[in-house]
Structure 1
Amino acid sequence: MVMSPAQDTPTAMIDRVASLLQVLDGQHHCTLAQISRQTRVPRSSAHRILQRLVDLGWVERHGFNYSLGIRMFELGVRVVHRDQVHGAALPVMHALYRSTGLTAYLSVLQSTDILHIERVGGWPERAAGWHLGGRQPAVHCAAGRALIARLDEALWPELAVLQPPTSRAICGPTALRRELYRVRDRGGVAIDNEGCVPGTIAVAAPVGPSGAGINAALTLCGPAPAVQTDKAMAAVHAAAMNIWQAAAGVPRRRGQRALATTA
């Protein structure tokens, strides 16, 4: 197949590369046929692009299967570690994990999803979307609702096309709005009680006040019997504020603890 001039422009080629990488995002491996079918890029073109990405280390090939390469991981790590919020969050997250035994997540809002950019701890072990670099629908997880709640209400999403992951998940726009109002009433802290994963409770707070301009939330997550919700709420709220103060260089108030350790 001969590409037309419009298909051969740098922008069109970048779009093709991006579409191939997006297919591999979040999947362990894909065959050439699967990638071609999902992107609607002809097999010959997809094969040529993938081979170049393999040469650059952005994609790895194992037999007939392709997956994201180590070079993509290296670039992602550099971006995350350049972030002041991430640097400030790490010691707080490790302190929370040591003191509570609950897994700590640092997450950001990406369009309608939550992207987990750091994780300290191992819970949940195998649930979809909870791994480092994993994505979850923002309306279905505590971190997402904590960040959505402080947006202008005109930007709040609807839930019409989302499939609830569990029977305890929010299942409609009216219920979502009620929950977002409750998050505001709690001072920005969101609670997910087995809505994402059965047997798992997560408590999240945005990093910094609403005017700080920081798109990040801190979450504590663990098995339902191990999570004392009130203590976890207090701990995650205080810790999120500590992260913002450390990242922004804001002095702590007299008597304020450097790290939140009660949960």
Structure 2
Amino acid sequence: MSQPPALPASFPAADGGMNSVLGKVQHILEAFGPDDEYLSLSEIARRSGVAKASVHRLGQELVRWGVLERRGSDYWLGMRLFEIGQRVPRQRILRDAARPYMEDLFQATGETVHLAVLDGLEVLYLEKITGHGQVRPTRVAGRMPLYCTATGKALLAFGPRSVVDEVLALPMPRLTPHTVCVAGLLRQELAKARELGYALEREQTRIGYMSLAIPLTGATGTTMGALSVTAPVFRADVKKYVGLLDMVGRRITKTVTSMSAD
């Protein structure tokens, strides 16, 4: 099996700006949104702010590396990105440990199950188990706000207090009429979550749905992620979900500890 070409030797260290090659590459790749299957060269240039000539030149390099794919005049994100993403140790270990138990949880509840971690000031979904006709707004590798999702509230309630302060310092737009976007109310919700051991949101991200999430704690006591069940409000069984999540969460923590020690 041939090895993919290395990144061009001319690539300097990234500073996140537009003056470095890697800075431009970052903007090019981040031009792709969650719902974009492909983008034209012109659209990438428009969204990224990188000159069309530079997009074309760097696009050729990225296609050779497998980070982008080109079909006619359009570009797709390449499978090479997926391959690299699978190598991130912390996320891979957590996802691999959680996946079998998430499937058990889905079988027991018949509802959508999410595994999420904190990434910056957002929820990043590592895994999702769902059935036909169930809640669709979330996706693996997708992001949602911390302040209004059950997983986000669990990560905030049981994570570093400094993250809570950062979230409260920023605007918290309403996603629905029920979204809690007032600092004092969010603090109350987080205090309640710490008291109960789980976080709950009802119609704060999508009308007609509720989610309940627990923190997943590592061997050192730090919160490594959150696990949730999302269900339509009319059939949600909070008491049942709390019991199942608690049992599954302990098993996931034990498995992660064992896998990390190997």
Smaller-chain TM-score range?
0.7 to 0.9
The amino acid that maps onto 1:228 is D
Does 2:182 correspond to 1:172?
yes
- Cα deviation digits, residues 146-174 of structure 1 (max 9, x gap): 01112343431216423111111112211
Corresponding position: 1:201 with 2:185: no
Q: 1:193 to 1:75 in 2, by over 3 A?
A: same
Q: Does 1:161 align with 2:163?
A: no
Residue identity matched to 1:174: G
Task: Look up the SS of the partner of 2:147 in the other structure.
Answer: helix
- In the alignment, structure 1 segments of 5+ residues that lack a partner are 1-7, 251-263
Deviations 1:62-103 (A, max 9, x none): 443323122212222343797332222111101111111011
Residues 1:16 and 2:16 aligned together: no
What's the TM-score, normalizing by structure 1? 0.83
Tell me the percent identity. Answer: 28
Give the aligned residue type for 1:126. R
- Provide the TM-score with structure 2 as the length reference: 0.83
Q: Report the 3-state secondary structure (helix = DSSP H, G, I; strand = E; otherwise coil) of the residue aligned with 2:156.
A: helix
Partner of 1:233: 242
Deviations 1:158-194 (A, max 9, x none): 164231111111122111111111111112x111111
Report the Cα distance in structure 2 between the residues aligned to 1:120 and 1:31, rounded to whole angstroms: 32
Q: How does 1:72-111 map to 2 (within 5 A)?
A: 72-79=81-88, 83-111=92-120
Comparing 146-155 with 93-102, greater Cα deviation is found at 146-155
Instruction: Return the offset for 1:124.
Output: 4.2
In angstroms, what is the RMSD of aligned CA positions? Answer: 2.3
Q: Larger relative CO (CA 8 A, sep 6+): 1 or 2?
A: 1
Task: Report the 3-state secondary structure (helix = DSSP H, G, I; strand = E; otherwise coil) of the residue aligned with 2:227.
Answer: strand
SS at match of 2:243: helix
SS at match of 1:23: coil
Q: Structure 2 regions of 5+ residues with no counterpart?
A: 1-9, 14-19
- Aligned positions, number: 240
Return structure 1 stretches of 4+ with deviation > 4 angstroms.
Answer: none
Check conservation: 2:114, 2:228, Cα contact below 8 A. yes
